[in-house]
Structure 1
Amino acid sequence: MKVGLVIYGDLNTLSGGYLYDRKLVEYLRNQGDEVEVISLPWRNYLRHGTDNISLALKNRLRRLRADVLLQDELNHPSLFLLNRQLRKVVAFPLVSIVHHLRCMEEHPRILRWFYRQIERVYLNSVDGFICNSQTTLQTVREVVKSQKAALVATPGGDGLEVSPNEKIVAYSQKPQVRLIFVGNWIPRKGLHILIEALQGLLDLDWRLYVVGRTNLLPSYEQKIRRMIESGGLSQRVEITGAVSDEELVKRWQTADVLVVPSQYEGFGIVYLEAMRFGVIPIGGQSGAAHEIIQSGINGFLVPPNSSADLRDTLRKILSDPDLMNRIKKAARVRYEQFPTWQSSMASVRKFLVTQFLQ
């Protein structure tokens, strides 16, 4: 099978969506399929729209030798009009990989309406969807109002290489609880909400490790650093930046609680990854995190943008070692109920073959 994949920038970009695309490319190539990655340059949203009138891009895609063309839905502003032209001149189907819709993120109402219109046109221009969660598929169905071929293939939580003798480490009554935030520094991930919540927990013994790219939005980075300093947290928050997979494994193995109170997640790979190591995940209620976390059983969900609710949840966990130990063990059990990357990507390949190539 010959496959094309349209993305922005580098396939090795650090994010859950790019990890999903990367795992799919890796699996397809291991099955003997040919995969050509078509990388479009990163620009702002409006400038991406000019790709729709790019003769160079149109000709490149038209000349593509493929049985199917996959498109990361993130690229919708570059393709929402171009796809209609492509369908007239190519024989291969267009299939969108949808991690989450931009119109579901927190934006001013008029912007969300605008994004929804563009995404509606784009989603109607493809032949099928690969979604990372039932929540994502539901939002797609609500926007498109049609029954195109679709598959839900959830990400795996086993992307990091760990020694075969890995095991959950029960909470050991140690006085200091290790909190961890893993994610890029963008407002949607809710790091500012976490920092604000921690300012009200200085009476408890904890330490926060912040893992992820810091420099995507310089103004947001400055805001976070100011909050840490002004809140008296400088001695209790360690900023590591982006780390290697080996270092991330070490961080997971010593962490107790993951806190990523996102405004919205199309799935939330980081929560599942935490559960693999028996780390309690705290996520946001909006989006698909509820498909992973059963709040109060194997993790906790908090309302988005509520530092007060997050503070109360953290105080509850930090003040009750027995509760922490119980939730940590339940988190590991929950992880084992999800498919591996291998099995999920196998289902994607089967979907492509049976739906579009037979």
Structure 2
Amino acid sequence: MRVAFVAPGDFETTSGGFRYDRRLVASLRETDDVSVYSVPWRRYPLSLFDAPATPLSRFSTDADVVVVDELAHPTFAVRCAGVREDHTPVVALVHHLRCDERGPGAPLAREFERRFLARVDAAVCTSSATDAAVRDLAPDPALPTLVAPPTADQFDPDVSPTAVDARATESPFRVVFVGSLVPRKRPLALVDALAALEVPWEATFVGPQPNERYASRVGRRCRRRGVDGRVTLAGALPTAALETVLRRAHVLVLPSRHEGFGIAALEGMGFGLPAVVTQSGGATDLVTHGENGFLVPPDGVGAVYAALSALATDRTRLARMGRAALTRYRSHPPWPETAARTRTFLARVASDPSSAAEPPLEAT
């Protein structure tokens, strides 16, 4: 099978979504011919102006199927119809829909994402929540989709339930945030929730800081709330350093407005960390509220504070939920299974798009 994989911007970008893309390409290359193409990725919605110069048919000449990371939808929302004229099917790889991030740009994103989905033949989605959102937005209710979740194997945690129990008794209460320091991830909400805690605590924020002004704003919020001595804005860390942070932490918090999957939550679970994550998006595939973590609204601070306070003040509960998080991590589908099912799906689309539909990969 010949695959043209189209991604926005730099394919080596540091993020969970691009890491997924690179891993999928590597797996497909074990059996197939895969070419990777980059298209402009500018501040939304400036990419719309790149559409006249970048039709998808440009990538389909020597391909049996074209896979497009949905982040590139502004470039193709108008022009990808041309691919169907030469019978090369198009598959959208959807980590999450931009319109689900909400905010002032959501209505415009919704319109162009709807146009994009109207012109693809199938979609691979990284969570059941994203799959449902795609099915809801796509004009064709019969659009074939596959749920193909990522796997958290950046680390080899080898954490035992006994270690989780022992760590739960330690002080201070240690919180880790793993994600880009951007408004969508809501680090300011976490700072405000931490400031209200009445027990000793410390927190580490790990992740790229793409907007220096916003990172400075987070620092100012820490100082204004009087917690700058207990919050470390670590920036992006290499794998070994991040592993050290996760091994010491008690809980992982990512109160985003929306997450397509939430790979950081799954990675934290591998270390026995309950996850406090948004109820908007794919984290609902991972977290059972009150069992292995907490699902919080994508706005406000109160629920984040309540979740942290519940764990910080009840270490027996912290240990129990940490063990449950570890169990959930160990039951997650391995990457070879996800990759094999994705390849089969793409091959079906390449041969006959109308026959590609199959039951989603269930999270266990």
Q: TM-score range by the shorter chain?
A: over 0.9
| Paired position in structure 2 for 1:335 | 329
Structure 2 unaligned regions, length at least 5: 353-364
Matches within 5 A, 1:103-252: 103-108=99-104, 111-146=105-140, 147-158=142-153, 160-162=154-156, 165-168=158-161, 169-172=163-166, 173-201=169-197, 203-214=198-209, 216-252=210-246
- C-alpha distance in 2, partners of 1:170/1:51? 50
Matches within 5 A, 1:280-291: 280-291=274-285
Conserved 8 A contact 2:114-2:139: no
2:28 matched to 1:34?
Answer: no
Deviations along 1:30-67, whole A, 9 cap, x unmatched?
Answer: x2312111111321223311222116x6674254x111
2:4 matched to 1:11?
Answer: no
- C-alpha distance in 2, partners of 1:17/1:121? 22
Conserved 8 A contact 2:4-2:34: yes
Local SS of the residue matching 1:258: strand
Conserved 8 A contact 1:171-1:256: no
Conserved 8 A contact 2:6-2:69: yes
Taking structure 1 as the reference length, the TM-score comes to 0.93
Deviations along 1:116-151, whole A, 9 cap, x unmatched?
Answer: 111111001111000111111111111114212211
* Runs of 4+ residues deviating >6 angstroms: none
| Paired position in structure 1 for 2:358 | none
Percent pairwise identity: 36
- C-alpha distance in 2, partners of 1:170/1:353? 43
2:313 matched to 1:315?
Answer: no
| Paired position in structure 2 for 1:50 | 49
Deviation at 1:183, TM superposition (A): 0.1
2:55 matched to 1:61?
Answer: no
User: Counterpart of 1:309 in structure 2: which amino acid?
Assistant: A
2:290 matched to 1:296?
Answer: yes
| Paired position in structure 1 for 2:83 | 86
Deviation at 1:97, TM superposition (A): 0.2
Local SS of the residue matching 2:258: coil
User: Counterpart of 1:353 in structure 2: which amino acid?
Assistant: A
2:93 matched to 1:97?
Answer: yes
- C-alpha distance in 2, partners of 1:62/1:330? 46
Conserved 8 A contact 1:185-1:221: yes
| Paired position in structure 1 for 2:356 | none
Conserved 8 A contact 1:185-1:213: yes
Deviation at 1:275, TM superposition (A): 0.7
Deviation at 1:274, TM superposition (A): 0.8
| Paired position in structure 1 for 2:248 | 254
Deviations along 1:254-280, whole A, 9 cap, x unmatched?
Answer: 211001111111111111111111011
- C-alpha distance in 1, partners of 2:103/2:87? 37
Q: RMSD of aligned C-alpha atoms?
A: 1.7
Local SS of the residue matching 2:22: helix
| Paired position in structure 1 for 2:68 | 71
Conserved 8 A contact 1:136-1:288: yes
- C-alpha distance in 2, partners of 1:306/1:320? 23
Deviation at 1:161, TM superposition (A): 3.7
Deviations along 1:262-317, whole A, 9 cap, x unmatched?
Answer: 11111111111111110111001122222210010011111122212211221111
- C-alpha distance in 1, partners of 2:40/2:53? 13
Could you tell which deviates more after superposition, 333-342 or 123-132? 333-342
Structure 1 residues 157 and 58: alpha-carbon distance in aligned structure 2, compared to 1, 3 A threshold: closer
Taking structure 2 as the reference length, the TM-score comes to 0.91
Local SS of the residue matching 1:126: coil
Local SS of the residue matching 1:259: strand
- C-alpha distance in 2, partners of 1:122/1:42? 16
Conserved 8 A contact 2:4-2:60: no
- C-alpha distance in 1, partners of 2:23/2:184? 24
Deviation at 1:226, TM superposition (A): 0.4
User: Counterpart of 2:40 in structure 1: which amino acid?
Assistant: P
- C-alpha distance in 2, partners of 1:150/1:356? 14
